[in-house]
Amino acid sequence: MTKTKRILLIGNPNVGKSTIFSRLTGAKVIVSNYPGTTVEYYQGYFKLEDKEAIIIDAPGIYNLEPSSKAEEVAKELIDGADIIVNVMDATNLERNLYLTLQLLETNKPIVVVLNIWDETKHKGIEIDCQKMEEILKVPVVATSGISGEGIRKLAFRIWEAKTSSFVAEDKWKSIGFILQNVQKLYHKHHTLLEILGEVSIRPLTGFFIAAVVIFISFTLVRFIGENLISYIFDPFFNKLWLPLLVKIDSLLKGGGILHSILIGHLIGGEVDFVQSFGLLSTGLYVPLAMVLPYIIGFYLVLGFWEDFGYLPRLAVLMDNFMHRLGLHGYSIFPFILGLGCNVPGAMATRLLASRREKFITATLMAIAVPCMAQIAMIVGLLGKRGGQYVFLVFFILLLIFIIKGLILNKLMPGHSPEILMEVPPYRLPRWDVTLKKLWMRMSGFLKEALPLVLLGVIAVNLLYSLGIIKAIASLLSPFLVKIWGLPKESVAALIIGFLRKDVAVGMLGPLGLTTKQLIVGSVILAIYFPCIATFVVLTKELGWRDMLKSVIIMIFVTFSVGALLNLIL
Amino acid sequence: MEIDLTKLPPGHRGVIVRVEGGVGFIKKLEYMGIRQGKIVRKISSHFLRGPQTVRVDNFDVAIGFGMARKIFVKEV
């Protein structure tokens, strides 16, 4: 029996390796139009007729000299691979060829893929694949990963991969020679997208466009979230689910432990989805009817901008500002992803070069970037008291973000490296690709968050009925009540906040807080500690030493901000 | 006349004549396709010593101000 072959997809950043990977394997991976989407490598199975192989999707690299973590990882992956599929951006042959020539030297069987083939026509580029194959002495296949064009051909030709006898004494000279023989360039006028791309990266027009983009994004997320709630999720829960709960309630009449776990306690003799805190009431309503609609809105809008290619431009525009906080433009990726969920945000810190930058980004995100689940709950609870209060909470978080960044930048030794980043062209997103990504993120949320929410609800009930919360509450109450001005019962929310922030915010609901207390409570829950999932990932990314430092900062910030807000509001 | 990249006005084109700095830095730029002899077109220059964006071949790249000052071009 032969060993299953290992096929490695490798190439420059943002050439579409992950798109080809998911086309070949059918596996679901997140693809976007910006360099560095893939921070880890992914594996998938690929089957063609009777042949089977493992395909590995590596993070993008520019060369094989191990100067960064990504290149070291790539080198290891190459050593373990049986076939190398070198994915190139056909619109940037020259730059991509450097890596190709280095790969040819590894003496591994290679197939070269000219991806983004569909764009060569608009850009006035004509490439002779046949000729390129003759020169490089390895198979060359043209593909367009996004539309799927050429993928079938690639699937067959992967098996023709061979080691090349092409020798490049001086790589740039050889590249010049190859280009002269295979590529013809024609003059092309700028397309509308290209003009738009340039305008959105110039300072004056760029900031105006950024403001418009951000405004539209927030409006859209709100619009989608609110409409999903009032036309789909609320009617479902109120008209279909509630009668069922009422039946279960009457069956279990007389209360008991089962009643309090499944339904929770009745508010004014009725089941209240937000306040009852039973598994079947609040446990399902919070994640599905309060959080999920906003998650859908957020990831739909984010997915569109990711695929369109807007985010790197925002990174460039924000670069200057981020430098004052000890970061550079690239840090906006973890922050933006963190707004959806802090876990992928924490993973994206891997892209940042220095330990200092990673630390500042991670700490700022964990403290001042609330995730969509939390935002949805704050909007849901505080929004009823008035939109200006919701705005105030976000304004406070933004202030904390900026002040803390300024301080950390001063306190931490070293300085942040400068930006050096490729800015991809705008591409019109294909709705099937964007929707597929939305679906992946949505089902990811349901799979990962729903169990934790339910666990949180059970934990709340158990801790209450065992009297543990009461004990901790009376222990901490002098402190909570005096310094933060919160009722001592709110300690339960702080405890559950370790598990899920959305459940924790929800727990503030039944306490009958004043608006001021609700604001203080929301801010404290946002900043005091990351949820367990984020905590685990952050510890993995930062190491326990830096994580410990980060936690100390969080506790310090929480104490002082809580006290300050209690004083001034 | 040789000027550094930060002084090339937006919209203008220049050919890279040399890149100053350590070998690591020069190589890093080179691998990204920014090297001697390449023609670049300045797209934008952000104020307060912000990043400089240029078009090289068919791609755009944002370069920090300090780095851009080490890249010397001759306007064409």
Q: Which three-class secondary structure string do you get for A510-538?
A: HHCCCHHHHHHHHHHHHHCCCCHHHHHHH
User: Of the candidates A423, A377, A216, which has an alpha carbon nearest to the alpha carbon of residue A302?
Assistant: A216
Give CA–CA dist A563/A537, Å, rounded: 30
B18 touches chain A (CB under 8 A): no
Distances (CA, A) of A236 to A242, A251, A276: 9, 22, 18
Cβ contact A92–B65 (<8 Å): no
Burial of B9 by CB count in 10 Å (0-12 exposed, 13-18 middle, 19+ buried)? exposed
In this prediction, residue A425 carries a pLDDT of 93
In this prediction, residue A6 carries a pLDDT of 93
Smallest Cβ distance to A62: which of B31, B57, B62? Answer: B31
Two tokens, residue A300: 């739909």
Two tokens, residue A281: 């009431």
A68 touches chain B (CB under 8 A): no
Q: Sign of torsion, CA A518 A519 A524 A526?
A: positive
Please identify which residue in the block is written with the tokens 């689910």: A241
Q: Name the closest residue on chain A to residue B10, using Cα atoms.
A: A202
Interhelix angle A203-228/A311-324, rounded to 10 degrees, is 110
Find which of B60, B63, B65, B69 to mutate to test the A interface (most A CBs within 10 Å of its CB): B60
- The predicted complex's ipTM stands at 0.95
User: Within chain A, which residues score under 70 in pLDDT?
Assistant: 1-2, 67, 254
Give CA–CA dist A562/A520, Å, rounded: 6
In this prediction, residue A1 carries a pLDDT of 46
Find which of B44, B55, B70 to mutate to test the A interface (most A CBs within 10 Å of its CB): B44
Count the Cβ atoms, other than its own, within 10 Å of residue A473: 19
In this prediction, residue A489 carries a pLDDT of 85
Amino acid A429 reads: P
Give CA–CA dist A216/A74, Å, rounded: 39
B39 touches chain A (CB under 8 A): no
Question: Contact A371/A384 with Cβ under 8 angstroms?
Answer: no
Chain A: closest CA distance from residue B74 (Å): 21
pTM of the model: 0.91
B53 touches chain A (CB under 8 A): yes
User: What phi and psi values does residue A115 have, to the nearest 5 degrees?
Assistant: -85, 175
B39-45 and B52-56 as β-strands: parallel, antiparallel, unpaired? Answer: antiparallel
Burial of A296 by CB count in 10 Å (0-12 exposed, 13-18 middle, 19+ buried)? buried
Cβ contact A201–B53 (<8 Å): yes
Give CA–CA dist A520/A513, Å, rounded: 10
CA angle A546-A475-A396, nearest 5°?
50
A122-158: buried (b, 16+ CB within 10 Å) or exposed (e) per residue? ebebebebeebeebbebbbbbbbbbeeebbeebbebb
User: Taking CB atoms and an 8 Å cut-off, how many pairs form between chains A and B?
Assistant: 101
Two tokens, residue A248: 């279960």
Chain B: closest CA distance from residue A169 (Å): 17
Chain B residues with CB under 8 Å of A125 CB are 58
Question: Contact A23/A144 with Cβ under 8 angstroms?
Answer: no
Question: Contact B19/B31 with Cβ under 8 angstroms?
Answer: no
Question: Contact A52/A329 with Cβ under 8 angstroms?
Answer: no
Domain boundaries, chain B: 8-75
Distances (CA, A) of A175 to A97, A132, A171, A180, B31: 7, 11, 6, 8, 12
Two tokens, residue A443: 């089902």
B10 touches chain A (CB under 8 A): yes
Give CA–CA dist A139/A130, Å, rounded: 9
Please identify which residue in the block is written with the tokens 């990711």: A306
Amino acid A414 reads: G
Cβ contact A67–B62 (<8 Å): no
Give CA–CA dist A53/A314, Å, rounded: 39
The residues near A251 (Cβ < 8 Å, ≥ 6 apart) are none
Q: Sign of torsion, CA A542 A544 A547 A549?
A: negative
Give CA–CA dist A476/A63, Å, rounded: 56
Pick the CATH number of B8-75 from 3.30.465.10, 2.30.30.90, 3.30.1360.120, 3.40.50.300: 2.30.30.90
A423 touches chain B (CB under 8 A): yes
Chain B residues with CB under 8 Å of A65 CB are 27
CA angle A139-A144-A148, nearest 5°?
105
Give CA–CA dist A436/A398, Å, rounded: 32
Specify which residues B52 forms β-bridges with.
B45, B63
